[in-house]
Amino acid sequence: MADRGDVTTIVYVGTYTQTLPHVDGKAAGIYVYRLDRTSGELHHLHTTEGVSNPSFVAVEPHHRYLFAVEEVGEYEGQPGGMVCGFVIDPRTYGLTPINRQRTQGAYPCYVSVDQSGRWLLVANHGGGSVSVLPISKGGVLGQVTSVIQHQGTPEHKQPAHPHSIIADPSNRFVLVADAGLDRIYVYQLDLEGGVLTPNATPWLALRSGTGPRHLVFDPDGRYLYCINETASSIGVFSYDVDQGILREIQTVSSLPEGFAGRNAGADVHSDPTGRWLYGSNRGDDSIAIFIVDGATGTLQATGHRSTGGRIPRGFAIDPAGRLLLAANQNSDTVVTFWIDPTSGGLTRGGGSTSIPTPVCLCIADFADMDAAR
């Protein structure tokens, strides 16, 4: 969607509301902001409470509903986490709860919507599984239609920890990054029944200790990029959209040369043109910047930019490709950067917005024909 005056850009911020072993959550729920595309500033609109650890949020393709995980190990005395659905008010952009459903897996950490908007895809990090739930009329979530438990082998030192799940651009396949098993899984998606079936080539095994975490396709769907949590690197893969087969073609470090401290890769995104790729580092507390070779999909590092805070778990790029926002989990800030249209470099702009324990940013454009400011 073009960057015009008849478009309002909204940022939905997922957070931690409770303390977990890896985070001191202190937020109230999901925060809603308007992004000023001229100044880069964020203006608070709403806070949606009554949801526990909404650490990942996603807006469906038609921008009518938002879905969030509740990253918990049990709910109302029963094991497993939850997902929640919300109606997006077309005038105020606020969220009204619809319903919640069990994911049949503990500590869900990632949620996405397939290209049709009919199926919700969930990665249960603590439970080692992935789930599918139907999205019915009115955004109502139905009960789980498919659950697949990931299993390792005796040589795996870590249990399964699926950390992200996305549908490919064709909507025929679903890909999962499992940070515990060092695999990228590929499933066929049954669009009628919401069932996942292992692909003929069910996974691509990565080097031990890689820790694949988040995935993103290039705009053309020819290449897949994976940021690796443990190895602090980004993997580049060619993708056969007809067969759902990955082939690794490059791995590059996400860290600046000479960095010797502790670090964990976190999030990865392409700009809308596909010319640049970005990855976040927790430890170096930076955004790594890469130029993408349009012919081969390979990456060349061009620099790093401090996020101005600690532990940038998540970040996002606005649909116009002009702004990058970084969520500094342990500094309670979201920092805005301008993207240089020539180099892809990042420049601070819009200041730093105080938000408790921000971890996921979902940016959506709303046209005036659908919403009045």
pLDDT band at 5 (very low <50, low <70, confident <90, very high): low
pLDDT band at 371 (very low <50, low <70, confident <90, very high): very low
CA distance 130 to 137: 23
What is residue 186's predicted lDDT score, i.e. its pLDDT?
Answer: 99
CA distance 27 to 159: 29
HEC sequence for the chain: CCCCCCEEEEEEEEECCCEECCEECCCCCEEEEEECCCCCCEEEEEEECCCCCCCCEEECCCCCEEEEEECCCEECCEECCEEEEEEECCCCCCEEEEEEEECCCCCEEEEEECCCCCEEEEEECCCCEEEEEEECHHHCECCCCEEEECCCCCCCCCCCCEEEEEECCCCCEEEEEECCCCEEEEEEEECCCCEEEEEEEEEEECCCCCCEEEEEECCCCCEEEEEECCCCEEEEEEEECCCCEEEEEEEEECCCCCCCCCCEEEEEEECCCCCEEEEEEECCCEEEEEEECCCCCCEEEEEEEECCCCCEEEEEECCCCCEEEEEECCCCEEEEEEECCCCCCEEEEEEEEECCCEEEEEEEEEECCCCCC
Which two tokens mark 48?
Answer: 């949606």
- Compute the residue count for the chain: 373
Q: Average of pLDDT values for 338-345?
A: 98
Using the predicted structure, report yes or no on whether residue 173 has a pLDDT greater than 50: yes
Contact residues for 160 (Cβ-Cβ < 8 A; gap 6+):
128, 129, 149, 150, 151, 152, 178, 180, 181
What is residue 326's predicted lDDT score, i.e. its pLDDT?
Answer: 99
Query: Which phi and psi angles does 139 have, rounded to 5°?
Result: 80, 10
Using the predicted structure, report yes or no on whether residue 359 has a pLDDT greater than 70: yes
The whole-chain average pLDDT of the chain stands at 96
What percentage of the chain exceeds 70 in pLDDT? 97
CA distance 121 to 133: 7
Which two tokens mark 84?
Answer: 């929640």
pLDDT digits (tens, 9 = 90+) for 24-55: 999 999 999 999 999 999 999 999 999 999 99
All structural domains of the chain, each given as residue ranges with its CATH number in brackets, are: 7-367 (2.130.10.10)
Q: Average of pLDDT values for 248-266?
A: 97
What is residue 260's predicted lDDT score, i.e. its pLDDT?
Answer: 92
- Strands 333-339, 346-354: pairing is antiparallel
What percentage of the chain exceeds 90 in pLDDT? 94
Using the predicted structure, report yes or no on whether residue 370 has a pLDDT greater than 60: no
Contact residues for 161 (Cβ-Cβ < 8 A; gap 6+):
125, 126, 128, 178, 179, 180, 181
Using the predicted structure, report yes or no on whether residue 372 has a pLDDT greater than 80: no
pLDDT band at 306 (very low <50, low <70, confident <90, very high): very high
Using the predicted structure, report yes or no on whether residue 3 has a pLDDT greater than 70: no
What is residue 182's predicted lDDT score, i.e. its pLDDT?
Answer: 98
CA distance 24 to 45: 25
Report the phi/psi class of residue 232: left, alpha or beta, with left for phi > 0 and alpha for psi in -120 to 50.
Answer: left
CA distance 290 to 98: 40
Amino acid in position 200: A
Using the predicted structure, report yes or no on whether residue 222 has a pLDDT greater than 60: yes
Using the predicted structure, report yes or no on whether residue 201 has a pLDDT greater than 60: yes
What is residue 6's predicted lDDT score, i.e. its pLDDT?
Answer: 86
What is residue 4's predicted lDDT score, i.e. its pLDDT?
Answer: 54
Distances (CA, A) of 368 to 8, 39, 222, 352: 8, 20, 33, 28
pLDDT digits (tens, 9 = 90+) for 278-292: 999 999 999 999 999
CA distance 37 to 125: 35
Using the predicted structure, report yes or no on whether residue 160 has a pLDDT greater than 50: yes
CA distance 306 to 113: 31
